[in-house]
Structure 1
């Protein structure tokens, strides 16, 4: 029986843990709890574990009974309970009670509880309950009252919405608690003196009444009877233990007949009354309080109320219906007027249009056959509405747009095919385009000219512009609103911003299998573009052919595209962070224009050609925390001059050529610090000429050629505190002349050739080469072929090299 209760083990664990807390010795006083200290302690704390099956719910209950104050004839106690039901609801009961022996025959008791329940629908209910009882060895008399908070709770899963006349209405699902009372009379039916343990049989009869006066909530009233077979002081559990087998039956018109089987096991808690066995009369003092185990709940639907569309908040009244048989459907649509609601029903077939549907301001076009969430205007109850069949609205003329939107208009749930553009708008704001499928347009699935501010959400743009090199969605100037959750697939271009994005959010969209680029942007001067995915497109995942001057571009993913993952032009400001380029045919991230500012951080490039490629001059900006790994060429490649930029905390590992390559001049104001190049197949760091800046605290290890390779003249700047370890060639390779600058405090360890290889210190050099360290390199610690630095000879040290440990 208990196996039917999935959370019963949780109840046991919960109350066992509670007992350990309550019974644990005080950490501050070193004393036991009060009820373990009293010399005249008679009534002991205990756990009751109960499993119930067969009634309204299968239930597991844990009860902790704690005497708080007592003598032989009175007891003040706490009764703490936890209940878990098989419908995933749960309840806690927190009670205090008092019992007093009136004479040698009767015990009078009173108690109060605070109850909290989480229903199966996740609602929280609270109630106060109280009761009185009169007990003797033979008789039980008790009555209880229950007073919950009566405010209704929403149950949206029970809400319903439907078309009533020309209005869409809602009946919201509600859940309420019932106030009520119950009573019972019990009698000892039989004792079994011949048995080795103390056993008795008791029977109870009573009734209950629960009600809530709200419409639709019927009363629950009826009889209740119960029989209990009790065994006390069992040898394997000790004095104070109890096992109860019980069966209960009750009936009311709302729930019908309910038969419940119950098993309760009592485990006494340790105390100085361990050896005492209570008399039958004393045993009644610790009988658990008998009450309804849960706050009584019921569900119903509330009154009919007007609905509004959750997506837009538009009230759904005075509805016009259009289907394939509607004569002059375009005229009917436009004639419905401002702020009207038009329901398109596809039950009669495809709705063809040769002139297109033109919106009024504030007008809603709502598709049948598509479940949409609507909200009760009064209660806020949410329900799903679905009417008729989803329509296909087909534009039969490829020079006419299928729908033309207006300010504050909305189009929801349509299947739109054909036409010049599936949806067109010009300088519109406050509009909503949601849950539509738009396909087969000659040009764009949706084309929005001018300044655009609105919501475009959960649409699918498919196979648009395939003969005209056009797009799933094209927007000219996006200044605010949200473009989220859309899919762009099998178009020529997925998403196209033809002029500027200066505000709003473009997020959680997916572009895949488009002929050319997944996402195309021109200028970005504001807004947030984040968490978009572009994969398996014929060219770039994300293509930028203008300037990024502000805004945030973050946490986007480009994978398996046939050109670049992210193809940028120039950047003067803004933030590019947390993006991932994975397994694209060309570079993961490429910049083909100049960079003069902004932040480029925490981006990842894996399994591309170059991980990060920068084609033009960089004269500012911060590049930090980026990772390039497993790319087919360089991890990072700066092809032109860099100056006044910061490159710090980046990692390049296991790339097929260089980890980090600077292909032209490193100039004044450049900071290259705290970067790592590990296990690359060529050099860890590869520099052309260095004419200024600071290169410090970088780390090269396990690269298959040099840790740091300088291919051209070292003309100036500071190169300090770098570490080169276990590279296959030299730790530091200066193949071209060192003319000026400071090379100091660098370390070369365990490299397979020289620690430091210097071809020549030029004859008129002004360089400082000092305080470097070379240890355990296979060839020379310092291999200087010609010339000497102006400063530093004699300060460079090492050990364990094949030769030339010092310089």
Structure 2
């Protein structure tokens, strides 16, 4: 009768309200306890640590018992628990309870809990629970009720999808909490007066009933029995301690028979009652509340439901199957119509086509034997589906495309060999090409003409375009969508994108292609990021025209036969966070003018030159780039620079110069806060200086000069630069200084002269002032001839081989 009563969650809620009314009424009718008097603290807080093994799950529990208010006959307390289980689930229980002695014979108690559980499937469940208890020295009576949130949670790992008729359907795995009740009666069986510690043996019998009315979820009900051997006030733990050894048995139709062993150790916490030893009856006031230790859960599969392909969202109904035995398969495919689903099954052997398969708008070609994720239309659950065997579709005619796409069409999981192009399309929108392997096409693995806006993901392009110098993937104008997670290997060219003006191109790999990994004509928008080009015969990334916009970031070029990044010019956009290493030529090279944009935080390591700029640089920002251990120069500007910013870049351990400006530095150029360390020639190597600002740079430990000026210093500012510990001179001016401002620079501990100046030319307008030379092996200032117009006498030094001032 009790189980039937508690089947209704609404009745459980009413009982909860009654429970708390009982507590308030009982307290108001009693004599007011002296709860807040410190000398009345009889009941102490404690920790219980428990371990349980042998049941549905092994578990560990920590329990904190905290008296909140008390006198000798009543106790209001908090019961806080944390549980961990061997299936990686966990639960917290947060309870408040009230107990009161009645006639010195019985203790009546009531309590409520809020429970939160994270299941082994990472679902979160919550419930309210309550209980009533009646205790004496000899007897225990208790009943508990549990009211969880009954909404189901997804368990995708338990879902299953299969072909039913001509539909792909699923039964979704789900997890639910059970409402229910348990009860037990216990009795003191024996006391052990002859032991050194106070000990007793108690036995309990009872039962439990839990249920959820959802289809497929069986009720969990059965008997339960438990025996406990308890020892109190152990000498090594002190008064208030307890050790319990217990064994429990229960049985239900869902879990079968379960035998559980339990060990609990109580550690009393310090308090006013440290020295007090409770009587047997008082000890019952601090007995832990006995209740189910976890929210009762179960898993099942829901009713059969229709599915859609997670990748595209297309419904998987009314499926047509094509295999090697299908007569006139091309007509069957096209005849399936708009928005149809055609499943290619390889179980009967290879599927060959001479004319190719032509898509309708919205049509899906899905490969058998390929695991794809499907989504339940009702539940939203996700699981994998596979049917039959992986098909191989051979294009027998090198003049015909194997598949020709249409708008909003999709091709997933195919193994495509030969044909003119493995997949062809023209001016496509909303399409998907995913998880295909495309091999040995006469021209391109995938060739898309016109404007392209769709998704190309997870494909592999192998050995395509070898007779015709073509590509794994070729797109005329990529305007939107995504190209992600593809691999191009062994093609003549990996990827060729004529124009990129939008979309995302990310996480693609090009390797071991005969020529370039990635080829671009024009890049003026979109995002190109986290792509890798390695071991290609020529360039990793090749640009035939300027970057005018978009973001090109965090790509890697390594071990390629020519350049890592072979760029044209740049007028805008962002080139950021890219890495070039171990390429045969320069790591990052720009062969046309740079007039704008940002080149930042790129790294070039172990290439010929790290960064090479062949033409004029008349704009743009170069910041935070690193060039280390390259065979020649770290940075090499081969032509004039003006109206640009080159800042916070570093070059170390390169085979020639760290940073080389071979052209003229002109007005508007800002070269600041860069470092050149331990390069085999000069740290900074300049030709003509005819404007601009060179400020706050540092050259350290280079094997020739820190700063080397090979041609005329006509105008501009050289200020606050530091040259330390270089093998030759700190600052070397081998040609006339005709003008400009050279001020506040420091040369320290160089093996040659601090400042080596061949000539201040006659009629110069130069200012040479407030520079410092210290601890250089040669002269602090070695000026062969001439004097500057301004600054003589302001330059200082100490500890040099000679000439500490100028």
TM-score, reference length from structure 2 = 0.95
Q: 1:536 to 1:36 in 2, by over 3 A?
A: farther
Is 1:126 aligned to 2:103, yes or no? no
Contact 2:35 2:71 in 1 (8 A): no
Contact 1:36–1:271 (CA under 8 A) maintained in structure 2: no
Q: Against the structure 1 CA distance between its residues 449 and 753, is the aligned structure 2 distance closer, same or farther, given a 3 Å change threshold?
A: same
8 Å Cα contact 2:775/2:798 also seen in 1: yes
* Conserved? CA contact 2:170–2:304, under 8 Å: yes
Whole-angstrom CA distance in 2 between matches of 1:453 and 1:481: 5
Q: How far apart are 1:383 and its partner, in Å?
A: 1.1
- State the match for 2:209 in structure 1: 209
Report what 1:555 is aligned to.
Answer: 554
> Are the equivalent residues in 1 in contact too, given 2:638–2:663 (CA < 8 A)?
yes
Query: Is the 2:700–2:723 Cα contact (8 Å) retained in structure 1?
Result: yes
Q: Give the match for residue 346 of structure 1.
A: 346
Partner of 1:159: 159
1:275 aligns with 2:275: yes
Q: Which residue of 2 aligns with 1:468?
A: 468
Alpha-carbon offset, residue 36 of structure 1: 11
CA RMSD, aligned part only? 0.9
Describe the SS at the equivalent of 1:763.
Answer: coil
Give the aligned partner of residue 24 of structure 2. none
Task: Quote the Cα distance in structure 2 between the aligned partners of 1:671 and 1:497.
Answer: 35
CA deviations over 1:473-521 (Å, ceiling 9, x no partner): 00000000000000111111000012x1000000010111111111111
> 1:735: how far off?
0.2
Which residue pairs with 2:752 in the alignment? 753
- 1:378 corresponds to which residue? 378
Aligned to 1:520: 519
Q: Is the 8 A contact 1:461 1:487 kept in 2?
A: yes
Partner of residue 411, structure 1: 411
Residue aligning to 1:15: none
Contact 1:567–1:591 under 8 Å retained in 2: yes
Whether contact under 8 Å (2:683, 2:700) holds in the other structure is yes
The aligned runs of 1:42-57 (5 Å cut-off) are: 42-57=42-57
Equivalent residue of 1:442, what SS? coil
SS at match of 1:759: strand
1:191 matched residue in structure 2: 191
Residue in 2 that maps onto 1:234: 234
Distance 1:682 1:524 in 2: 37
In structure 2, the partner of 1:10 is none
Give a deviation string over 1:146-190, Cα, whole Å, max 9, x none.
Answer: 000000000000001000001000111000000000000000000
For residues 308 and 690 of structure 2, the distance between their equivalents in structure 1, rounded to whole angstroms, comes to 67
Provide the C-alpha distance between the structure 2 equivalents of 1:611 and 1:580, rounded to a whole number of angstroms.
10
Is 1:80 aligned with 2:108? no
Q: Does the 8 Å contact 2:491/2:514 carry over to 1?
A: yes
Counterpart position of 1:680 = 679
Cα distance in 1 between the residues matched to 2:41 and 2:337: 84
How far 1:262 moved relative to its partner? 0.2
Aligned twin of 1:616: 615
Shift of 1:664: 1.1
Q: Is the 8 A contact 1:522 1:546 kept in 2?
A: yes
The one-character-per-residue Cα deviations of 1:323-354 (angstroms, maximum 9, x if unpaired) are 00000000000000000000000000000000
Residue deviations 1:124-152, cap 9 Å, x none?
00000000000000000000000000000
Distance in 1 of aligned mates of 2:664 and 2:318: 71
1:483 maps to what in 2? 483
The residue that corresponds to 2:332 in the other structure is: 332
State the shift of 1:468 in Å. Answer: 1.3
Distance in 2 (CA, whole Å) between partners of 1:581 and 1:707 is 26
1:314-463 equivalent positions in 2, closer than 5 A: 314-463=314-463
Instruction: Give, in angstroms, the shift of residue 783 of structure 1.
Output: 0.2
Deviation at 1:282, TM superposition (A): 0.2
Match of 1:522, SS state, is strand
CA distance in 1, matches of 2:407, 2:523: 24
Structure 2 residue aligned with 1:180:
180
Shift of 1:104: 1.2
Which residue pairs with 1:705 in the alignment? 704
Structure 2 gaps, min length 5: 1-33
Q: SS where residue 666 of structure 2 aligns?
A: coil
Residue equivalent to 1:509: 508
Contact kept in structure 1, 2:35 and 2:70, CA below 8 Å: no
Q: Is the 8 A contact 2:76 2:96 kept in 1?
A: yes
Q: 1:547 Cα deviation (Å)?
A: 1.3
Match of 1:692 in 2: 691
> Counterparts of 1:684 and 1:158 in 2: how far apart (Å)?
64
How far does the alpha carbon of each residue in 1:40-70 deviate from its partner, in whole angstroms, 9 at most, with x for none? 2100000000000000000000000000000
Verify the 8 A CA contact 1:159 1:170 in the aligned structure 2: yes
CA distance in 1, matches of 2:745, 2:627: 24
Which residue of 2 is the match for residue 657 of structure 1? Answer: 656
Distance in 2 of aligned mates of 1:127 and 1:505: 45
Alignment of 1:129-148 (within 5 A): 129-148=129-148
Contact 1:35–1:67, Cα closer than 8 Å, also in 2:
no
CA contact (8 A) 1:35 1:271 kept: no
Query: Is the counterpart of residue 93 in structure 1 residue 93 in structure 2?
Result: yes
Distance of 2:581 and 2:62 partners within structure 1 = 54
Q: Which residue of 1 aligns with 2:224?
A: 224
CA deviations on 1:249-283 (whole Å, 9 max, x unpaired) are: 00001110010000000000011211110000000
With normalisation by structure 1, the TM-score equals 0.95
Q: Structure 1 stretches (4+) deviating beyond 4 angstroms?
A: 34-37
Deviation at 1:229, TM superposition (A): 0.3
1:723 alignment partner in structure 2: 722
Q: What's the offset of the Cα at 1:35?
A: 9.9
Contact 2:359 2:403 in 1 (8 A): yes
Q: Secondary structure at the match of 2:284?
A: helix
What CA deviation, in whole Å up to 9, does each residue of 1:764-802 have, x standing for no partner? Answer: 211111110000000000000011111111111111101
1:19 is matched with none
1:592 and 1:36 mapped to 2: Cα distance?
85
Once the two structures are TM-superposed, the CA of residue 37 in structure 1 deviates from its matched residue by 7.8
For 1:585-630, what per-residue CA distance to the aligned partner results, in whole angstroms no more than 9, with x for missing partners?
1100000111100000000001111000000111100000000000
Task: Provide the residue aligned with 2:774 in structure 1.
Answer: 775
Say whether 1:259 aligns with 2:259.
Answer: yes
- Aligned-pair distance for 1:121? 0.2
After superposition, residues 543-692 of structure 1 pair within 5 angstroms as 543-692=542-691
Please state whether the residue corresponding to 1:570 is helix, strand or coil. Answer: coil
Which residue matches 2:533? 534
Name the SS of the counterpart of 1:332 in structure 2.
helix
Q: C-alpha distance in 2, partners of 1:683/1:467?
A: 48
The structural deviation recorded for 1:453 is 0.3
Matches within 5 A, 1:734-749: 734-749=733-748
CA distance in 1, matches of 2:36, 2:142: 31
Q: Tell me: CA distance 1:550–1:223, structure 2 relative to 1, closer, same or farther (3 Å).
A: same
| Match of residue 783 from structure 2 | 784
Q: State the distance in 2 between where 1:658 and 1:92 align.
A: 64
In structure 2, C-alpha distance between the alignment counterparts of 1:404 and 1:63, rounded to whole Å: 67
SS at match of 1:348: coil
In 2, Cα distance between equivalents of 1:632 and 1:402: 47
Would the aligned equivalents of 1:36 and 1:272 in 2 still touch at CA under 8 Å?
no
**CA–CA distance in structure 2, aligned partners of residues 667 and 490 of structure 1:** 46
Listed as ranges, the matches of 1:293-312 within 5 Å are 293-312=293-312
